[in-house]
C-alpha cells in the first residue's frame, strides 16, 4: 500500500495509554514498512505532562518502544521515526493555547488529521477550540469510543461535532473493523461463489459472536463502573461485527455502499420487548477466582469500583434480524471480563443434512461450521465431516485451515495501522457513520433502561470461567451450546 499523501497527524492525549500502546506503535510500523507514509508526513503530539520535544521523545522511548516490533526494534527505523515527531505543550482546558497549536502546524504539509485519544468529555471543547483558530478546514477528525453514554448524549456529541466538521470529515473508529479476519470475512463472502448461496436462513442454524477477555478492569475501574459491558463492548464492537456478518452484498466497496448495508442490518434488529429481556439477555459480574493459576479479586473490590456496584462485566444476548435472509436464525452475542480465555471469534453453525445414510454423526449440530478467529491467532477454519481410515463408514470432524501467518509470507497489518492509514488516505468504509451509531444505541437502550429500572443485581460468576450458567442455559433452550462447551 504505497501513498504519496502528505499529512500532519495531530495526536491529542499524546502521553495517554492508547497513544503509547496502539497509535504510535501503529504509525511506527507503517513508517518502518516503507512507502506507507509519505516522507513529508509529520506527527504532532499534544500533551501538558512534559515540557518540550526532547522530554516527549524521552517519554516515547520509555513508553512506546516496548510495544513495537515483536521481533525487536530496528534502531535505524526507530531513529528516523522519531524525526517525524513534533510536540506542542497545550492545556486542552485553555482555548487560547490552540493559537500555539495553529502556529506550530501552519507550515506543515498535507491533510490535517486530529486524533482525539482523550475522554469523550473533551471531544466537543477540542472541536470548538480547533474551529476558533480555523483548524477545521482541510482536516479530518478521529473520535475514539465511547461516544456518549446513551442515545441522547451520543446525539449531543455528534450534533456539536457536526456543526464544526462535515460527516465526511468525521472518522468514528472501531478497531475491530480493521482486523484482518474481518476484512477476510468480506473477501470470503463476496469474493467466492461457494459461500453466498449458503449464507442465509435455509442453511445457517445459528451464529455466535464472542469477545472474551482474561483481564479485569485494570486501572480503569472508575471509568468502567460508570459504563459496563453493554455500553463498552456490545453497542459498538459486537453490533458492528454482527452487521458485517449479516449484511447484504454491497454495490461496491466504497464507504457509503458498505455502510448502507450495515445500517440496514442494524435497523432490522428485532426490538427486545422489556418483558422478554430476562429470557434473551444475561448480565453478570465476576467474583474472585483463579486464572491460569493466579488468584484474582472480585470486580467489587477493584480500585475505583463501588463496593455495592451492580455494573455488569458480562453480557450474553440472543438477537434476531427481521429480514428475508435471516428471519428465525438466532445470533448469540457474548462478551465479558475475567473469562477463561482471551478470544474473539465468529462461529457460523450450518444446518445438518436433512437425511443421512452415513449414520447419526452426519446429523449432529455443528458438523459443518465456519469459525473466524479474530484474536489471539487470526485464522479462518471450515469444519466438515470425513471418513476415518479403516473399516466401516465412520465419520470424524476435520477442518480446512487458513492461518494467515503461515499462508502469507508478508506480515499482517495490525488493526490500528490499517485504520490510521485509511484516515490519512481518506477512506471511510471501515469507520462508523452517525446513522449506524444511532441505530445501535436505539436498539441497546431498552436493555439498559430495563436493567436500571429492575434494580436486580448481575448474576455472579467466578473469574476464570465462561460466565454465568444462565448464558449457557439460554443457548440450551435453542438446542445448542457455546463452542467451547461441545468438548
430 appears as a binding residue in the annotation: no
Whether 340 shows a pLDDT value over 50: the answer reads yes
**pLDDT score of 283:** 97
Which residue is it, cell 475522554? Answer: 119
Q: Are 350 and 368 in contact (CB under 8 A)?
A: yes
Q: Is the CB of residue 283 less than 8 Å from the CB of residue 230?
A: yes
**CA quadruple 121, 126, 127, 128: dihedral, nearest 10:** 100
Lowest mean pLDDT among 25-29, 356-360, 445-449: 356-360
The answer to whether the CB of 6 falls within 8 A of the CB of 111 is: yes
Q: For the chain, what is the mean pLDDT?
A: 91
The reply to whether 175 sits in an annotated binding site is: yes
pLDDT digits (tens, 9 = 90+) for 422-454: 999 999 999 999 999 999 999 999 999 999 998
Task: Check pLDDT > 60 for residue 3.
Answer: no
pLDDT at residue 2 greater than cutoff 50? no
Look at residue 377 in the predicted model and tell me its pLDDT: 81
Task: With cut-offs at 50, 70 and 90, classify the pLDDT of residue 411.
Answer: low
- For the stretch 219-270, pLDDT in tens is 889 989 999 999 999 999 999 999 999 999 999 888 899 999 999 999 999 9
pLDDT score at 414: 87
- 232 marked as binding residue: yes
Cα 186 from chain centroid (whole Å): 16
Instruction: Say whether pLDDT at 137 is over 80.
Output: yes
Confidence at 409, pLDDT banded by 50, 70, 90: low
pLDDT band at residue 487 using 50, 70 and 90 as cut-offs = low
* 110 backbone dihedrals φ, ψ, rounded to 5°: 80, -170
Question: How many of the other CB atoms lie within 10 Å of CB of 15?
Answer: 18
Lowest-pLDDT range of 13-27, 270-284, 372-386 = 372-386
Is residue 109 very low, low, confident or very high in pLDDT (cuts 50, 70, 90)? Answer: confident
Contact 16, 118 (CB under 8 A): yes
Query: In the prediction, which pLDDT does 397 show?
Result: 79
145 is in an annotated binding site: yes
Query: Active-site residue among 31, 128, 237, 251?
Result: 237
Residue with the three cell numbers 436464525: 329
Residues 47 and 65: their CA atoms lie apart, in Å, by 18
| Whole-structure pTM value | 0.92
Nearest to 30 by CA among 60, 56, 2: 2
Mind listing the domains of the chain with CATH numbers?
A: 7-144 (3.40.50.720), 177-412+434-486 (3.30.360.10)
Give the pairing type, strands 369-375 and 343-350: antiparallel
Is 91 annotated in a binding site? The answer is: yes
DSSP 45-100: EEESSS-SHHHHHHHHHHHTGGGS-TT---HHHHHHHHTTEEEEE--TT-GGGHHH
Let me know if 399 is a catalytic residue. Answer: no
pLDDT in tens, 31-61: 998 889 999 999 999 998 888 999 999 999 9
| pLDDT for res 87 | 95
pLDDT at res. 1:
45
Q: HSE-up of 177 (CA within 13 Å, CB side)? A: 25
92 is in an annotated binding site: yes
At 173-200, the pLDDT tens digits run 999 999 888 888 888 888 888 888 899 9
CA-to-CA distance for 405 and 399, rounded, in angstroms? 17
Amino acid at each position: 500500500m504505497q501513498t504519496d499523501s502528505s499529512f500532519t497527524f495531530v495526536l491529542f492525549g499524546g502521553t495517554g495509554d492508547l497513544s503509547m500502546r496502539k497509535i504510535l506503535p501503529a504509525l511506527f510500523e507503517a513508517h518502518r514498512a516503507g512507502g506507507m507514509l509519505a516522507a513529508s508526513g509529520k506527527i504532532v503530539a499534544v500533551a501538558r505532562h512534559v515540557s518540550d520535544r526532547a522530554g516527549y521523545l524521552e517519554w516515547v522511548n520509555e513508553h512506546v518502544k516496548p510495544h513495537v516490533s515483536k521481533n525487536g526494534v530496528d534502531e535505524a527505523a526507530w531513529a528516523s521515526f522519531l524525526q517525524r515527531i513534533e510536540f506542542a505543550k497545550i492545556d486542552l482546558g485553555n482555548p487560547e493555547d490552540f493559537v500555539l497549536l495553529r502556529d506550530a502546524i501552519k507550515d506543515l504539509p498535507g491533510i490535517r488529521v486530529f486524533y482525539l485519544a482523550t475522554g469523550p468529555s473533551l471531544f466537543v471543547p477540542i472541536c470548538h477550540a480547533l474551529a476558533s483558530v480555523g483548524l477545521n478546514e482541510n482536516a479530518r477528525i478521529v473520535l475514539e469510543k465511547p461516544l456518549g453514554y446513551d442515545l441522547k448524549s451520543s446525539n449531543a456529541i455528534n450534533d456539536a461535532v457536526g456543526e464544526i466538521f462535515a460527516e465526511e470529515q468525521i472518522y468514528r473508529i472501531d478497531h475491530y473493523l480493521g482486523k484482518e479476519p474481518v476484512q477476510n470475512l468480506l473477501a470470503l463472502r463476496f469474493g467466492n461463489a461457494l459461500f453466498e448461496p449458503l449464507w442465509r436462513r435455509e442453511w445457517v442454524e445459528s451464529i455466535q459472536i464472542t469477545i472474551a477477555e482474561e483481564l479485569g478492569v485494570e486501572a480503569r475501574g472508575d471509568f468502567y463502573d460508570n459504563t459496563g459491558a453493554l455500553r463498552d463492548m456490545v453497542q459498538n464492537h459486537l453490533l458492528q461485527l454482527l452487521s458485517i456478518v449479516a449484511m447484504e452484498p454491497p454495490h461496491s466497496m466504497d464507504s457509503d455502499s458498505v455502510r448502507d448495508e450495515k445500517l440496514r442490518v442494524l435497523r432490522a434488529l428485532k426490538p427486545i420487548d422489556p418483558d422478554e429481556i430476562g429470557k434473551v439477555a444475561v448480565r453478570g459480574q465476576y467474583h474472585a477466582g483463579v486464572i491460569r493459576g493466579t488468584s484474582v479479586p472480585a470486580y467489587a473490590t477493584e480500585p475505583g469500583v463501588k463496593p455495592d456496584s451492580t455494573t455488569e462485566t458480562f453480557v450474553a444476548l440472543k438477537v434476531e434480524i427481521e429480514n428475508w435472509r435471516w428471519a428465525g436464525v438466532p445470533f448469540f452475542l457474548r462478551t465479558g471480563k475475567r473469562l477463561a480465555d482471551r478470544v474473539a471469534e465468529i462461529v457460523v453453525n450450518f444446518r445438518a443434512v436433512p437425511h443421512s445414510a452415513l449414520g447419526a454423526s452426519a446429523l449432529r449440530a455443528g458438523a459443518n461450521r465456519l469459525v473466524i478467529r479474530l484474536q489471539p491467532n487470526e485464522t479462518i477454519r471450515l469444519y466438515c465431516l470425513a471418513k476415518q481410515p479403516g473399516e466401516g463408514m465412520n465419520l470424524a470432524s476435520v477442518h480446512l485451515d487458513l492461518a494467515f501467518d503461515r499462508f502469507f509470507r508478508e506480515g499482517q497489518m495490525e488493526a490500528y495501522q490499517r485504520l490510521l492509514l485509511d484516515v490519512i488516505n481518506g477512506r471511510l468504509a471501515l469507520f462508523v457513520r452517525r446513522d449506524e451509531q444511532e441505530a445501535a444505541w436505539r436498539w441497546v437502550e431498552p436493555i439498559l433502561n430495563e436493567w436500571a429500572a429492575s434494580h436486580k443485581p448481575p448474576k455472579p460468576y467466578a473469574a476464570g470461567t465462561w460466565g454465568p450458567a444462565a448464558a449457557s442455559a439460554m443457548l440450551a433452550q435453542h438446542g445448542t451450546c457455546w463452542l467451547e462447551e461441545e468438548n
